[in-house]
């Protein structure tokens, strides 16, 4: 069989590849297949939608049902007690409710990240049920996802804690006509920590830099290992962010591992990407290089205090000049976002909390521009397509590793490679032919 791009992308080809995986149930099905399954939820046939939701619910075990109820609970525990003088019973009820919801979110994420076959099956059902629930659609429309990327030592974790505390301490506007998007009720932080290439373990130490934020009752901090996945994210980061949104966190920050110039996959999981640059982080030539600088929506020069302040100002000036040389662009959307032709470059200090208001103001302005132009929804739709193909690659790779026939074929090709009888490209083509015939 001759393989072409048209053949590989055709429905029969993909069906033949995915059918054995679905039958064995040893690998997580595509998350966005569940979204296609629930496309009827947006139709006028509400009874059919309810029947599909009930069908998924009937397959879930007791633990998955309990987690779904906790995550979709519409009662806000922060409104249970009066701010004036809550009685002791109400205060305890409020604290228990907050604890149970946070624990439920943690258990749901653990279920998602588990590699056990039974856990994967239940996590798929849980995700599918949550995707089809009306509370989820309402919360995802109100939420905003912010990506924090930068090189190792750029001050990402310290900035995330300082900025998160700043958002939670913003005064609430009781004016009903005020812009609700400039208010931040609950903050979730997903910290991706690198895994060892030798042992496979992760320290998950980013949370230790966020001790005050992680203890805040309206915040949630979750570290996740990369498991040697490239691009700055872990294998299930997209699912974890979705669970935080379902749980009612209207502002989710995704902190990547320390990135290089070409690791830009984080842009496929967030609505806005901020690049953190330390003082002395490069000249104007560094700013015009292709990669992470090209796709970020804002640049923040960190550690702009004390002896680093002068160097931070010089770095900011270099990047502003470089971005002007690059010209207007709106990466990933196919067109320029009016009013945001050039990403702003700001100074911030996590030590003395300067620049936080400026960063938040630009985030709100960017969000409003994206929503008014309709590009926020467009961007999220493109991201779902990206993750569908990303998951497909993982499925094909997993089947190649777990299928007995394919594993024997791979071992034969590896022996031929060691003996110099073939090349890696030819061996990969033969293995793909065997995959198609399986």
| Tens of each residue's pLDDT in the chain, 438 residues | 444 444 444 444 444 544 444 444 344 433 333 343 434 344 445 566 677 778 888 889 899 988 888 888 765 555 544 445 556 777 777 778 788 888 999 999 999 888 788 888 898 889 888 877 766 666 777 889 999 998 888 899 999 999 999 999 988 765 444 455 567 889 999 988 877 767 767 777 777 888 899 889 899 999 888 776 655 566 678 888 888 988 889 999 999 887 765 567 888 889 999 999 999 866 555 555 567 888 889 999 999 999 999 999 999 998 888 888 877 764 445 567 888 988 999 999 999 999 999 999 999 999 999 999 999 989 988 988 888 888 888 778 877 888 888 888 999 999 999 999 999 999 999 988 888 876
Read off φ and ψ for residue 374, nearest 5 degrees: 80, 5
Question: How far apart are the C-alpha atoms of 22 and 40, rounded to whole Å?
Answer: 22
231: left (phi over 0), alpha (psi -120 to 50) or beta: left
DSSP annotation string for 378-397: HHHHHHHHHHHHHHHHHHHH
**Token digits for 340?**
């945001």
How many Å apart are CA 75 and CA 95, to the nearest integer? 13
CB 162 within 8 A of CB 350: yes
Task: Look at the pTM and tell me if it is higher than 0.75.
Answer: yes
Could you tell me the domains of the chain?
Answer: 30-132 (no CATH), 148-170+183-386 (3.40.50.300)
Which DSSP state fits 427? H
Tokens representing residue 136 in the block: 């989820």
Check if the beta carbon of residue 146 is closer than 8 Å to that of residue 270: yes
Length of the chain: 438
Q: Do 331 and 267 form a contact (C-beta atoms < 8 A)? A: yes
Q: What three-state secondary structure class fits 215?
A: helix
Q: Which DSSP symbol is given to 341?
A: S
Report d(CA 271, CA 275) in Å as an integer. 13
Cβ neighbour number for residue 170 with a 10 Å cutoff:
13
Q: Which two tokens stand for residue 281?
A: 């982080």
């Amino acid at each position: 069989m001759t393989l072409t791009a048209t053949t590989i992308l055709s429905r029969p080809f993909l069906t033949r590849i995915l059918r054995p995986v679905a039958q064995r149930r040893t690998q997580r099905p595509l998350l966005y297949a569940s979204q296609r399954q629930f496309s009827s939820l947006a139709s006028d046939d509400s009874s059919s939608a309810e029947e599909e939701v009930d069908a998924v619910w009937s397959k879930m075990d007791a633990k998955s049902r309990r987690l779904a109820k906790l995550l979709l609970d519409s009662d806000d525990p922060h409104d249970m007690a009066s701010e004036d003088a809550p009685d002791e019973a109400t205060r305890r009820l409020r604290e228990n409710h907050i604890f149970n919801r946070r624990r439920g979110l943690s258990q749901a994420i653990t279920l998602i990240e588990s590699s056990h076959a039974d856990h994967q099956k239940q996590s798929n059902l849980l995700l599918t049920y949550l995707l089809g629930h009306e509370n989820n659609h309402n919360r995802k429309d109100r939420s905003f996802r912010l990506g924090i990327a930068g090189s190792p030592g750029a001050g990402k974790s310290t900035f995330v804690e300082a900025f998160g505390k700043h958002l939670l301490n913003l005064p609430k506007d009781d004016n009903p006509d005020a812009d609700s998007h400039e208010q931040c009720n609950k903050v979730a932080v997903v910290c991706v920590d690198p895994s060892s290439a030798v042992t496979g373990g992760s320290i998950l130490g980013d949370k230790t830099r966020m001790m005050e934020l992680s203890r805040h009752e309206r915040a949630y901090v979750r570290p996740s290992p990369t498991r040697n996945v490239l691009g700055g994210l872990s294998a299930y980061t997209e699912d974890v962010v979705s669970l935080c949104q379902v749980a009612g966190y209207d502002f989710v920050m995704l902190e990547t591992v320390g990135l290089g110039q070409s690791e830009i996959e984080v842009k496929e999981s967030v609505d806005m990407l901020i690049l953190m640059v330390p003082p002395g982080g490069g000249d104007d030539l560094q700013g015009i290089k292709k990669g992470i600088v090209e796709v970020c929506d804002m640049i923040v020069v960190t550690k702009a205090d004390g002896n680093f302040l002068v160097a931070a100002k010089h770095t900011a000036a270099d990047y502003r000049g470089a971005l002007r040389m690059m010209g207007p662009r709106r990466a990933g959307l196919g067109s320029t976002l009016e009013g945001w032709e050039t990403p702003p470059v700001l100074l911030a200090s996590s030590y003395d909390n300067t620049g936080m208001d400026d960063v938040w103001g630009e985030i709100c302005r960017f969000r409003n521009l994206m929503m008014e132009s309709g590009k926020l929804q467009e961007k999220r739709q493109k991201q779902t397509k990206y993750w569908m193909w990303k998951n497909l690659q993982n499925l094909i790779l997993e089947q190649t590793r777990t299928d007995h026939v394919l594993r024997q074929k791979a071992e034969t090709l590896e022996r031929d490679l060691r003996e110099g009888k073939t090349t890696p490209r030819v061996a990969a083509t033969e293995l793909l032919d065997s995959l198609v015939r399986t």
